[in-house]
Structure 1
């Protein structure tokens, strides 16, 4: 690849968002290596790292590239497949191989000397916890809806009853779920006290006051650049029926922009997809920040 340092893109082969970026990098003649470490490293790719006093070196080989890992300028940790292990192995051996790959290859790829990560995978993981997001948002000056996270049905019921403007339930993680063997999404929905049963005690649940919103906003932050999109939707959760929503660019208030910059710095992020509910009086309520959120769903 000559003297030019490469961009390493960690993602699955089905990531069409990455395809868009790779096309632009190719047009700019920037060397790129694409790798799905959870799958490729037990198929046709190999990764070697050597550590000696005062020296670190290594090589990544794919079907089409050979890369000196000290020559990686940037790493885009997009959406690689989970480390699962070779499918031909027994369950126990496959679990062993998957965990060795996570802690070995995952550790190498997260420790490339001099590389600029967007975002670093460990920072991504830390920033995905909803309680951490809410705590950081408060510290950075965002307006945050009243929220409780609990596995106590009585606490949950009392919280919902105390918010006369309504309350909603939100999953703490987008866990794959199936109903009658069909994929099923758990959307944000309004919840009433009478619906809360002992089933809440099985695991923590997140309940939040319902914001009387005029519209939603997605702010995509890339470094110091902010891209705001106003979302008008008939649904509480605009993701539910995206064919019914309309979008338009929106200016991000300076106070929100300052809080976004503080939030990114606090959690050591370069990129973040922030979701807000905006009231008729112009108050922007922070809902969440996906550190690896989708952005290609709406052109600006």
Structure 2
């Protein structure tokens, strides 16, 4: 599939090589930091001693793998230090992050230069699994728009679906970006015509390509 997409990359929104590169969550975090997003305190390690030290220094920690496994999306889980042991820890690298306290989560759809942010409430660590509550469309301030633009340039993305969490202090924290993440459900949750907006984005991209030599 990757070889097929690479041969027809001009028809893809994001280049297949970019998609593969950004499947690595460590790469995403590095680019997010460079662009100017705030990220949670993070440790990427397979060292038992370093993980033990990091988890002991924070009240609660979440854990996620570096990239999707077996076609499944990357999950985010509350870390249980009672399960921490040297053998399991050193089997592979993982991402450990301080849990951000707060109930407001954001799924933000970026299409070219346009940004559509949706806020919803959830007590779940992985809020992508929680669609019980209505969401609302919210505006993104100019500073954040500039940072999104910087990230998209650094990441070489034309489209991205971002997950952010707002802390109790009102700080927005970058969690991850999905190059072609789910967003269709936002139509039902918010009443905002995101599917129609996406169709117009695709139509515009097709027209641009037709004008290209």
Q: TM-score, normalised by structure 2?
A: 0.80
Shift of 1:131: 1.1
1:34 maps to what in 2? none
More helix per residue: 1 or 2?
A: 2
Shift of 1:186: 6.8
Q: Quote the Cα distance in structure 2 between the aligned partners of 1:107 and 1:220.
A: 24
Is contact 1:233–1:246 with CA below 8 Å preserved after alignment? no
Q: Quote the Cα distance in structure 2 between the aligned partners of 1:157 and 1:129.
A: 23
Aligned match of 2:44 in 132, 149, 155? Answer: 149
2:113 maps to what in 1? 224
Aligned match of 1:285 in 166, 170, 173? Answer: 173
Gap change, CA 1:295 and 1:194, over 3 Å in 2:
same
Q: Quote the Cα distance in structure 1 between the aligned partners of 2:50 and 2:81.
A: 11
Structure 2 unaligned residues grouped into runs of 5+: 193-213
Q: Quote the Cα distance in structure 1 between the aligned partners of 2:128 and 2:112.
A: 25
2:57 maps to what in 1? 162
Q: Quote the Cα distance in structure 2 between the aligned partners of 1:185 and 1:263.
A: 22
Aligned match of 1:295 in 179, 183, 201? Answer: 183
Is contact 1:160–1:192 with CA below 8 Å preserved after alignment? no
1:257 maps to what in 2? 145
Shift of 1:260: 0.7
Is contact 1:153–1:200 with CA below 8 Å preserved after alignment? yes
Gap change, CA 1:266 and 1:157, over 3 Å in 2:
same
Aligned match of 1:136 in 22, 27, 31? Answer: 31
Aligned-partner SS, 1:285: strand
Shift of 1:151: 1.2
Q: Quote the Cα distance in structure 2 between the aligned partners of 1:107 and 1:209.
A: 37
Is contact 2:67–2:74 with CA below 8 Å preserved after alignment? no
- Structure having greater relative contact order (Cα 8 Å, sep ≥ 6): 2
Runs of 4+ in 1 over 6 A off after TM superposition: none
Is contact 2:118–2:136 with CA below 8 Å preserved after alignment? yes
Is contact 2:103–2:122 with CA below 8 Å preserved after alignment? no
Q: TM-score, normalised by structure 1?
A: 0.58
Q: Mark the structure with the bigger radius of gyration.
A: 1
More strand per residue: 1 or 2?
A: 1
Aligned match of 1:171 in 65, 70, 73? Answer: 65
Shift of 1:117: 4.0
Q: Quote the Cα distance in structure 2 between the aligned partners of 1:171 and 1:116.
A: 30
Gap change, CA 1:265 and 1:237, over 3 Å in 2:
same
Residue 206 (str. 1) matches residue 95 (str. 2): yes
Q: Quote the Cα distance in structure 1 between the aligned partners of 2:6 and 2:174.
A: 33
Which aligned pairs between 1:9-158 and structure 2 lie closer than 5 A? 38=1, 102=3, 105-110=4-9, 115=10, 117-158=12-53
Aligned-partner SS, 1:263: helix
